[in-house]
Amino acid sequence: MVHQLVRLLWNPLSLDRLGLVYSLAAYVWWGLVTGAYFKSVDFAEPLELLALRVLTGLPLLIAFLSFRAGGIGDLFRLIRKQAMSVLVAGALIGLNWGTFIYSVVSSRLTEASLGYYINPLVSVLLGVFILGESMSTRRWFALAIAFVGALVFASDFEVSGLLQAGRLMELPWIVVVLPLSFGLYGLAKKKAQADPFTSLAGEMLMLLPILGLLEWWLFRQGRSVWFSVDAFQMGALWAGGIVTIVPLLFFSASANRLPLSVVGLMQYIAPTLQFTLAVAFFGEELSARRVVAFAMVWMSVLIFISSVEKRKDIRTNGG
Range 179-205 burial, b when 16+ CB lie within 10 A, else e: bbbbbbbbbbbeebebeebbbbbbbbb
More confident residue, 40 or 229: 40
pLDDT at 1 (0 to 100) = 52
Question: Where are any strands of DSSP class E within the chain?
Answer: none
Model confidence band, residue 260 (pLDDT cutoffs 50, 70, 90): low
Please write the tens of the pLDDT for every residue from 113-170. Answer: 999 999 988 888 888 888 888 888 888 999 899 999 998 998 888 877 777 777 888 8
Cα distance between residue 198 and residue 183, in whole Å: 20
Give percent of the chain above pLDDT 70.
Answer: 89
Cα distance between residue 32 and residue 20, in whole Å: 18
Rounded to whole angstroms, what are the CA distances from 75 to 66, 70, 84, 88?
10, 9, 14, 16
pLDDT at 120 (0 to 100) = 86
pLDDT at 313 (0 to 100) = 46
Contact between residue 126 and residue 184 where contact means Cβ atoms under 8 Å apart: yes
pTM score, two decimals?
Answer: 0.88
Using alpha carbons, select from 151, 30, 195, 33 the residue that is nearest to residue 96.
Answer: 30
What one-character-per-residue DSSP string does 32-79 give? Answer: IIHHHHHHHTTTS-HHHHHHHHHHHHHHHHHHHHHTSTTHHHHHHHHH
CA-angle at 152, arms to 120 and 304, nearest 5°: 25
Please write the tens of the pLDDT for every residue from 96-112. Answer: 999 999 999 999 999 99
Range 237-276 burial, b when 16+ CB lie within 10 A, else e: beebbebbbbbbbbbebbbebbeebbbbbbbbbbbbbbbb
Cα distance between residue 12 and residue 228, in whole Å: 53
Contact between residue 153 and residue 175 where contact means Cβ atoms under 8 Å apart: yes
User: What does the mean pLDDT of the chain come to?
Assistant: 87
Give percent of the chain above pLDDT 90.
Answer: 58
User: How many alpha carbons lie under 13 Å from residue 91 in its C-beta half-sphere?
Assistant: 8
Contact between residue 37 and residue 245 where contact means Cβ atoms under 8 Å apart: no
pLDDT at 281 (0 to 100) = 95
- Using the predicted structure, report yes or no on whether residue 9 has a pLDDT greater than 60: no
More confident residue, 14 or 87: 87
pLDDT at 12 (0 to 100) = 41
As a whole number, mean pLDDT of residues 7-25 equals: 68
pLDDT at 18 (0 to 100) = 84
More confident residue, 292 or 161: 292
Model confidence band, residue 10 (pLDDT cutoffs 50, 70, 90): very low
- Using the predicted structure, report yes or no on whether residue 211 has a pLDDT greater than 60: yes
CA-angle at 35, arms to 307 and 273, nearest 5°: 40
Cα distance between residue 99 and residue 178, in whole Å: 7
Cα distance between residue 274 and residue 276, in whole Å: 5
More confident residue, 251 or 50: 50
Using alpha carbons, select from 40, 32, 8, 100 the residue that is nearest to residue 272.
Answer: 32
As a whole number, mean pLDDT of residues 211-240 equals: 91
